[in-house]
């Protein structure tokens, strides 16, 4: 039974549902992925409803010229694979692990019946779609008004989430998020390093001067 009280995260709610409902437990397939691995290809996104229980995932769109663009960056509690409920799928979009992560997957037939029984599943998907829309709008505004170094500085601050280090995120992943080339991102990061703003390592970026990055990003507070 789901108890009322303080607001809990979607993963916490789903863990409780798994304990209370044998059918829900049987439908779930728990999967682990390392950073950089493909979580789901377009076909899988159309057949499975995914819940991100731990870690971060990017939804990547690949163009006909091989260019990659991250259309969404998702954290714990996010749901994707709406094709399992809506029947529509984008053949150019796949999901890639941005960090080590754990997901729960529910196949289409069970996903549809469980979503009718537990509205929290549809609510969780709607919340994620809203987040994705907000991210797209923010990116469009940044493209319109900010230069690439400013956007990269702001992205580094966002990924650090108040901390001093970004782990498991490659230069290619940063390029995908900003809709540019890996070589361009690497060049800007080297300039940031020369300015003392960051320190670079393998799949690790240490923020050495947070205030300097804020200034570079055009953040005035």
Burial 115-128 (b: 16+ CB within 10 A, else e): beebeebeebbeeb
- How many angstroms separate the CA atoms of 179 and 71, rounded? 9
- Whether residue 132 sits in one domain with residue 175: no
- Whether residue 179 sits in one domain with residue 80: no
Cβ(83)–Cβ(26) under 8 Å? no
How many structural domains compose the chain? 2
Average pLDDT over the chain, rounded to an integer: 86
Domain that holds residue 125: 10-143
pTM reported for the whole predicted model: 0.66
Q: Is residue 157 part of a domain?
A: yes
Q: Which of 188, 177, 190 minimizes the C-alpha distance to 149?
A: 188
Cβ neighbours, 10 Å, residue 197: 21
Report pLDDT for 4.
Answer: 52
What is the DSSP track for 32-64? EE-TT-EEE-HHHHHHEEEEEEES-EEEEEE-T
Residue ending a domain, choose from 127, 143, 159: 143
Q: What is the CATH number of the domain that holds 179?
A: 1.10.10.10
**Residues near 20 by beta carbon (within 8 Å), at least 6 away in sequence:** 1, 2
Give whole-number Cα distances, 60 to 42, 70, 120, 134, 179, in Å. Answer: 10, 4, 26, 16, 10
- How many angstroms separate the CA atoms of 112 and 129, rounded? 17
Q: Is residue 170 part of a domain?
A: yes
Q: Which of 159, 152, 158, 161 minimizes the C-alpha distance to 191?
A: 152
- How many angstroms separate the CA atoms of 118 and 146, rounded? 43
Report pLDDT for 220.
Answer: 58
Work out the burial of residue 182: count CB atoms within 10 Å of its CB; fewer than 13 is exposed, 13-18 middle, 19 or more buried. Answer: middle
- Whether residue 37 sits in one domain with residue 93: yes
- How many angstroms separate the CA atoms of 207 and 196, rounded? 9
Q: Is residue 59 part of a domain?
A: yes
Give the mean pLDDT of 145-171. Answer: 86
Q: Examine the pLDDT at 1 and tell me if it is beyond 80.
A: no
Q: Which of 67, 51, 57 minimizes the C-alpha distance to 11?
A: 51
Q: Is residue 3 part of a domain?
A: no
Q: Is residue 65 part of a domain?
A: yes
Share of the chain above pLDDT 90, in %: 33
Q: Is residue 1 part of a domain?
A: no
Report pLDDT for 147.
Answer: 87
- Whether residue 131 sits in one domain with residue 33: yes
Q: Which of 110, 81, 84, 109 minimizes the C-alpha distance to 21?
A: 110
Q: Examine the pLDDT at 82 and tell me if it is beyond 90.
A: no
Share of the chain above pLDDT 70, in %: 92
């Amino acid at each position: 039974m789901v108890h009322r009280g303080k607001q809990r995260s979607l993963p916490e709610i789903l863990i409780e549902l798994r304990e209370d409902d044998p059918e829900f437990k049987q439908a779930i397939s728990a999967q682990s992925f390392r950073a950089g691995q493909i979580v789901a290809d377009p076909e899988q996104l159309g057949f499975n409803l995914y819940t991100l229980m731990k870690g971060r995932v990017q939804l990547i769109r690949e163009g006909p010229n091989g260019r990659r663009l991250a259309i969404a960056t998702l954290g714990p509690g996010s749901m994707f694979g709406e094709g399992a409920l809506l029947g529509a799928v984008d053949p150019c979009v796949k999901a890639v692990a941005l960090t080590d992560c754990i997901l729960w997957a529910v196949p289409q037939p069970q996903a549809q019946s469980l979503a009718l029984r537990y509205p929290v599943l549809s609510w969780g998907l709607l919340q994620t779609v809203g987040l994705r829309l907000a991210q797209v709008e923010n990116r469009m505004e940044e493209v319109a008004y900010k230069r690439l170094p400013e956007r990269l500085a702001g992205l580094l601050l966002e990924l650090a989430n108040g901390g001093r280090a970004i782990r498991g995120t490659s230069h290619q992943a940063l390029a995908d998020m900003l809709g540019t080339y890996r070589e361009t991102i690497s060049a800007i990061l080297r300039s940031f390093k020369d300015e003392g703003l960051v320190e670079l390592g393998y799949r690790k970026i240490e923020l050495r001067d947070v205030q300097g990055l804020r200034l570079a990003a055009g953040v005035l507070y």
